[in-house]
A and B are shown apart, each in its own frame.
Chain A
Amino acid sequence: MLKRMDDGTSKETTSRSGDSLFPLEVSNIGLETVGQSLLRDVSFTLAAETKTVIIGPNGAGKSLLLRILNGLLQPTSGHFTWAGRTTDAAVRARQAMVFQRPVLLRRSTEANIHFVLNGLSLAERNTRTQALLEQAGLTSRAKTPARLLSGGEQQRLAIARALATDPGVLFLDEPCANLDPSATKEIEDLINATHASGTKIILVTHDLGQARRVGDDVVFLSAGRLVEQATVQDFFAHPKTALGRAFIRGEIVM
């Protein structure tokens, strides 16, 4: 059901439209609101090739970090660069975001994708829309009002729409939080296919199983701080910190 968009076999991430955004270098990012420090001194570097999972307990600041990287929030301290560039319009144009609760327009499934395909001729738009629908396994649902789709279908549509602009990096904020295992599997397959076609994945999840299944490397946050960054294998086999060990064992860390 899930089909790759292009038949390119390479994993090159210096991809189809423009230069690579990676490495992403995050330096001492902090986010404070009145009297509260939500993120403190977070620094890490991400490479282009991997699927990165950002994990941590509730309130760790995972979603905030993702929103900062997508430019939806301004950090109150620190900075980050995409292959040495600060976030400018060209960088922004190559990012796409999928939210925990899919935000779908009150339109048909295909119209939701059509909406983001600016600057193309109608014929190109239609071709691209059909390809994306097929990739997301939604071809038979093209004319259905988007908000009448099942939860899993809605999230697949949100991902397909995010992919419409052919992003260099796809942010996903707990995309499977409300989904059953089979719908989760379909989303994960779609994420893997997206990665295989050359898009960097940055996935926020609190589901350790998903982190293991999908992730190549881990950024582990707790209480607004970066606790560990490692490959998925290393993190789950030999966590370096007490917090990491406790989190893997399922003990609450706050």
Chain B
Amino acid sequence: MPDLSSIFALAVGLVFSFDAELYAIIGLSLAVSLTAVFLGALFGIPLGAALASLSFPGRGALTAIINAFMGLPPVVVGLVVYLMLSRSGPLGVLGLLYTPTAMIIAQTLLVMPLIAALSRQTLVELNSEYDELFRSLRLTAWQRITALIWDGRYGLLTAALAGFGRAIAEVGAVMIVGGNIEHVTRVMTTTIALETSKGNLALALALGLVLITISILVNAALLSLNKTARRLAYA
């Protein structure tokens, strides 16, 4: 086994050689996870806002479920989606297993509860501040939810990015429903797992570096965004 510093040098070299295969893998990872986060936020944020501001039967139970599902094990989600999409499963006819679409479905299910729960936490506070005004203005449920989402947008972006962090880093679900097929469903995390087991440490480490860089960039963006929001007293 070559020493660590030469692996590291090889990895950095790979990143900056703009290796086509490497960047295809990175591109697929981003496409799958960003789509999943978009869908997760599309459903999760309004759900969180409704849980934060409206009273309806089953709200308590739904909140408990969402909170419990925040930390769902990715392999279990992968397994469930696998069972749904497999040839003998209820959605087997769609033929989605081992496609990027299956991976998006799995990751959406994974991040949606997280985004919903974090959105609810953010908006509960905002709602208690606005509640009397909104009731005095006789807002409809829809007006209330949209106003909360708009005014809480910086906090909600944080929730969505937390979802992105979870999606881009998970390996269990995409491995099971994607199958880690070269050029089709191979993403950063599954490649790292595979290449490490094959002993191809340079490629694994190169992808690891990219993953870490992405998460640092995302967090830096988040930090500066929150700073701006606070300066404008919008946070």
Q: Do A and B come from one complex?
A: yes
Closest Cβ neighbor of B130 among chain A residues: A103
Tell me if B133 and A115 are in contact (CB < 8 A). Answer: no
Residues of A within 8 A of B130 (CB): 103, 105
Tell me if B133 and A106 are in contact (CB < 8 A). Answer: no
Cα–Cα distance between A89 and B130 once the two chains are bound (Å): 21
Cα–Cα distance between A201 and B143 once the two chains are bound (Å): 28
Tell me if A99 and B133 are in contact (CB < 8 A). Answer: yes
Tell me if B138 and A93 are in contact (CB < 8 A). Answer: yes
Closest Cβ neighbor of B229 among chain A residues: A106
Tell me if B135 and A147 are in contact (CB < 8 A). Answer: no
Q: What secondary structure prevails in chain A residues at the interface with B?
A: mixed
Given the known A-B contacts A103-B130, A105-B130, are A70 and B136 also in contact in the complex, defined by CB atoms under 8 Å?
A: yes
| Interface residues contributed by chain B, number (CB under 8 Å) | 15
Tell me if A103 and B132 are in contact (CB < 8 A). Answer: yes
Any B CB within 8 A of the CB of A72? yes
Closest Cβ neighbor of A98 among chain B residues: B136
Any B CB within 8 A of the CB of A145? yes
Residues of A within 8 A of B137 (CB): 116
Residues of A within 8 A of B151 (CB): 105-107
Residues 133-158 of chain A, each 1 if its beta carbon lies under 8 Å from chain B, else 0: 00000000000011110000000000
Closest Cβ neighbor of A102 among chain B residues: B133
Closest chain B CB from A110 CB (angstroms): 15
Cα–Cα distance between A43 and B143 once the two chains are bound (Å): 36
Closest chain A CB from B227 CB (angstroms): 15
Query: Interface centre among B129, B133, B143, B147, by most A CB within 10 Å?
Result: B133
Any A CB within 8 A of the CB of B235? yes
Residues of B within 8 A of A146 (CB): 233
Residues of A within 8 A of B94 (CB): none
CB-contact partner of A148 in B129, B143, B233, B235, under 8 A: B233
Any B CB within 8 A of the CB of A97? yes
CB-contact partner of B147 in A93, A105, A147, under 8 A: A105
Known: A147-B234, A148-B232, A148-B233. 13 other contacts (CB 8 A): A72-B136, A92-B138, A97-B133, A97-B136, A99-B132, A99-B133, A103-B130, A103-B132, A105-B130, A105-B151, A118-B143, A145-B232, A146-B233
